Structures are given as C-alpha cells and as structure tokens.
Amino acid sequence: MKTSFVLPLVVLSLLGILDAGYLTYNKINNIIPPCSSGFACETVLSSPWANVGPIPLSVFGLVYYAFLFILTSLTLMEIKIKVGKLKNEDILLLTSTFGGLFSLYLIFIMGVLIKGWCLYCLVSALICAFIFTLNAFHYFFVRRKKSFILKNRIIASGYQILKSMMFLFDAEFVHNRMTKTGKILGNHNFLRKFTRFLFDYKDKRLVKKIDGMVFKNPIGLAAGFDYNADLTQILPEVGFGFQMIGSITYLPYEGNTKPRLGRFPKSKALLVNKGLKNIGAQAIIDKLTGLTFAYPVGVSIAATNKVFESTKEQLLDIANSFRLFEQSQVKHAFYEMNISCPNTFGGEPFTNPKRLKMLLDVLSKLKLSKPVYLKLPIDQSVKETMALIKVAVPYDFVKGINIGNLAKDRNNKYVTEEDRKLWKSMKGNLSGKPTYRKSNLLLKEAKVMFNDRFTLIATGGVFTPEDAKEKIALGADLIEMITGMIYEGPQVVGMINHELATSKRK
C-alpha cells in the first residue's frame, strides 16, 4: 500500500484515538464535555445507548482506533501481517468496513431514536467515513484485480454457510426460490450492477470467437438449470460467458413425479429425475421475445416427454420446436440438440448411429439459421460415442458436440458406496463429480479423432479452476456447468475465469 494512502489513515486513526480517548476520560470522571449550541451531547452521552453493559461505548471506539493506528503504522513501516490468507490491506478493508457500518448504526440511534446529536460522536463517524472511503477507494481503483480473489473468497465462505442451511430443504424447492431471486435481480438495473460487482470477472484474454459468436469467457451454464428461461438477464452478471435455456420441448411437461431432484453431497452429485419439466417452446418464446441478451444464449431442444406412436411423430415434435424458434423474434444465438435425456418415457431414441442420422436428416431440411451443437450421453463406450459423432461429420449445420449429459451407470466408481446403494433404489441419474472422468475421456478421444471439425463443449463435474483447465487441455473450446456452482457457490464462475486468464499470462 502506497504511503499516500497509509499516511492519511495513520493520521485519521490518531484523531480517532484523541476523540474517543477524550470521551472515555470524561465518561470515567463523570464529566459532560463542552458542547456547541444546537447539539445535545449530554442527552446522547447519558443515554442507555452510550454504554454496552458497564463499558462506555467510547472505550470500544478507543480500542478500534488504537487497533487501526497500530495496523496502519505497521503498514507504513512495511511490516507485513498475515491472518490466515488476509494481509494488511485486507484486514484494513474489513475493519474499516465494520467501523463504517457501526458509525451508520450510531447515527441512526442519534437521529432516529434519541433525536439529538453529539458533536464528538459525529466527529468520530466522520473519521470512520474517511477511513472507510480511503480503503474502499484503494480497493476499487488501485488493487481491484488483486482484491477480486479476496472478495471471491469471502463470498465463497459466506456461500458455504448459506449452503448448509439450503441443504436442509428440498432441492427443488431451493432451486425454485433461487430462480425467483435471480429473476428479481435480473429485472432491476441496480441489482444487476451489484451482482456484477460481487461476481463478474472480465478479462480480454478470455474472449473467444466461435462459430460466429463472441463469448466473453468460455464458461457457460448447462441445460437444466434455467429450464424455463427466467435467468437470461442475471446470469451474465454472475460471470457466465453464455448459457443454455431448456431443455425445451414442443409440448409443456409438468415433470416426473416428485421427488425429482436430490443431492448426494458425499459424491458431490445431484440426482436428477425431472424428465424435461418445462412450460413448452411457445410459452418460452413468448417470454423471451423482446429481450436482448448480453451474451450468446443457446436453446437446448429435446423431444417432448411423452409416449410417441411412431418415430416419425417424435421427429416431427422435435422439428416443430426448431421451427417455432426459427420463426420467432427471439435473439438466441445457437441450438443444442439434446439427444441424451435419460429421464423420459421414450429413453434416448437417437443415440445410435442409424437413428441419429434420421434425426439429422430431418434437421438439415429445416435449413436452420443458427449453429447446432449435439449433446451426447456419457454412458456409452468410447467406440460407440465416436461412431455417433462420426454420423454428424457430413452435416455442416452441426457445428459442435457437447460431452455430455448425466451419469446413468449405477456402478459408477466415483459415487461413494453408501450413495451407490441408495441410488440403486432410486429413480434418476447423476450430475457432478461422477460425470467428470468419463466425460473427460470421451472429450479427449473426440479431440484426437475429429480434431477441429467440431467445437467441443465439455460438460460434467467442473467444480474448480483446475477441473476447467483439464477439460481445456483435453481439447474443450467451451465449458458448461451446473453442479459445481451449486456445491461451490456462484462465485466459482468468476474464480475459474480469473484462473484461466491469469494462467494464460504465465
């Protein structure tokens, strides 16, 4: 911290010591200090709020300023202090924020409850305000990049406390509350900006142009979280570089029977059996028409979750969703064709080469105006998956492959034994860590076999910057995630981006 910042802080804390010391001296000797006319020092200083139990409030002020004085003096002398991961500047920022907030509380008491002002208390509040402003200024304009990590860590710790409370409630209930909150945040300019301040991390080195779209960073929200397209206005501020909405189906579906969303915390997984719950393509189009998006929004499309009389009927259902979006005014940027939803009546009818070809033939006739990415299952073997991708090679409109969807294999060795036993008696499939290794293996093989023919989107088990880096090293152009955000907190998106950008510099 530069002397030009620290020196005023030393002087201000010294002034604080004088002010609080003077008040403490008078209080101990039962003297009411002289007060200018218009002020009500006596009323305030002899009010019940002037003490905490037997201790005068000014003693706390004295301790606070003394602490700041010592800390700023040490900082001035370039003596480094560390409390956990917090350094001199971090401790200063935290204590001065606390002091600023406490002064606001005292002003509230004087102005609203006592309805009289004490000159010395106002001087103290002013000193606190200056100390806070200087620290905040330093934070925003001098060390913003560095302090991103501090801010991110503080939010991460707060999120873990919040998570332990949220995990006491039903997973779908919590998800619905979160979506409602996100929708409210997205509808107000100020709240959007505040969310951006808390979470977003921007860096030119992260910007990518892919298939004609500009991604401010490669981390996107995977399909299934914003299935009714409520969060397009807030998620860019959380730090995502793109998002999927859906999966959307032509006809609405109220979801499989409850419970259809669960948690396996020990396996860092979610149990998903929603069965493509969504309000249907037309209702979603109505919702999105007229909105602009700060980043590429992809529409994930799947077949309606119902029993079809024939494959032809099922293909028509899928084509109808695409047609509706093509004819709409929605400003989406691309499509994801979800052929791998495991929780539906018909299973996964297009995950063998012959039937995938049938689907792609139908889609190619639609002459789609936007790129299509294909979302694959991850439970097929490497050979089967490569054979499936090979089918897509001649279809120019298929620009990318997303690897991939949920884990179905009940013997998945990345699920703890206890959870595996539970899982065997439950409906649904797993997201999160149980998907990580297998999706990485398929990604790696796809990169080797198809090189740059497809944009490769890596989905599955990204919880940390290292996870994202590994997927990128294996060939991923873009990354999608859900479960990591739920277990680690939304700030993890910014942290991943921060690490990706800074490791590029190294």
Ligand X SMILES: Cc1cc2nc3c(=O)[nH]c(=O)nc-3n(C[C@H](O)[C@H](O)[C@H](O)COP(=O)(O)O)c2cc1C
Q: Give the footprint of ligand X on this chain (CB under 6 A).
A: 222-224, 227, 246-247, 261, 270, 272, 274, 276, 300, 338, 341, 375, 405-406, 431-432, 435, 459-462, 481-484
- Is 151:93 a contact under the CB 8 Å cutoff? no
In the bound complex, what is the minimum distance in angstroms from residue 205's beta carbon to ligand X? 24
Q: Which is nearer to ligand X, 86 or 166 (CB)?
A: 166
What distance lies between CA 175 and its chain's CA centroid?
13
- Is 89:134 a contact under the CB 8 Å cutoff? no
In the bound complex, what is the minimum distance in angstroms from residue 275's beta carbon to ligand X? 9
In the bound complex, what is the minimum distance in angstroms from residue 492's beta carbon to ligand X? 11
Q: Which is nearer to ligand X, 6 or 276 (CB)?
A: 276
Q: Which is nearer to ligand X, 89 or 226 (CB)?
A: 226
In the bound complex, what is the minimum distance in angstroms from residue 91's beta carbon to ligand X? 35
- Is 297:480 a contact under the CB 8 Å cutoff? no
Q: Which is nearer to ligand X, 380 or 459 (CB)?
A: 459
In the bound complex, what is the minimum distance in angstroms from residue 292's beta carbon to ligand X? 24
In the bound complex, what is the minimum distance in angstroms from residue 223's beta carbon to ligand X? 4
Q: In degrees to the nearest 10, what's the CA dihedral of 209, 214, 218, 224?
A: -130
Beta-carbon contacts of residue 47 (< 8 Å; ≥ 6 apart): 114
Unique residue bearing structure tokens 């509350």: 177
Q: In degrees to the nearest 10, what's the CA dihedral of 389, 313, 335, 186?
A: -140
3-state helix vs strand vs coil in the chain, percent to 5: 55, 15, 35
In the bound complex, what is the minimum distance in angstroms from residue 383's beta carbon to ligand X? 21
In the bound complex, what is the minimum distance in angstroms from residue 343's beta carbon to ligand X? 8
Structure tokens at 148: 């991103």
> 107: buried, middle or exposed (CB in 10 Å: 19+, 13-18, 0-12)?
middle
- Is 31:120 a contact under the CB 8 Å cutoff? no
- CB-closest chain residue to ligand X: 224
In the bound complex, what is the minimum distance in angstroms from residue 408's beta carbon to ligand X? 12
Q: Which is nearer to ligand X, 213 or 221 (CB)?
A: 221
User: Nearest to residue 22, comparing CAs of 124, 111, 129?
Assistant: 124
Beta-carbon contacts of residue 302 (< 8 Å; ≥ 6 apart): 246, 247, 248, 249, 276, 318, 337, 338, 339, 341, 344
Q: Which is nearer to ligand X, 260 or 355 (CB)?
A: 260
In the bound complex, what is the minimum distance in angstroms from residue 460's beta carbon to ligand X? 4
In the bound complex, what is the minimum distance in angstroms from residue 475's beta carbon to ligand X? 17
| Dihedral sign computed on CA atoms, order 352, 355, 358, 362 | negative
- Distant-in-sequence contacts of 161-170, Cβ < 8 A, 24+ apart: 162/489, 163/487, 163/489, 167/263, 167/265, 170/259, 170/261
CA separation for the pair 159, 184 (Å, rounded): 19
Q: Which is nearer to ligand X, 132 or 487 (CB)?
A: 487
User: Nearest to residue 339, comparing CAs of 309, 363, 323?
Assistant: 363
Q: Which is nearer to ligand X, 23 or 479 (CB)?
A: 479
In the bound complex, what is the minimum distance in angstroms from residue 265's beta carbon to ligand X? 14
Structure tokens at 67: 């602490």
Q: Which is nearer to ligand X, 474 or 482 (CB)?
A: 482
- DSSP bridge partners of 480: 220, 459
Q: Which is nearer to ligand X, 93 or 485 (CB)?
A: 485
CA separation for the pair 481, 483 (Å, rounded): 6
Q: Cβ atoms within 10 A of the Cβ of 307, count?
A: 9
In the bound complex, what is the minimum distance in angstroms from residue 411's beta carbon to ligand X? 18
CA separation for the pair 485, 437 (Å, rounded): 18
Q: Which is nearer to ligand X, 27 or 355 (CB)?
A: 355
> 30: buried, middle or exposed (CB in 10 Å: 19+, 13-18, 0-12)?
exposed
CA separation for the pair 330, 290 (Å, rounded): 7
Q: Which is nearer to ligand X, 151 or 355 (CB)?
A: 355
* Phi, psi of 495, deg, nearest 5: -65, -40
Q: Which is nearer to ligand X, 26 or 278 (CB)?
A: 278
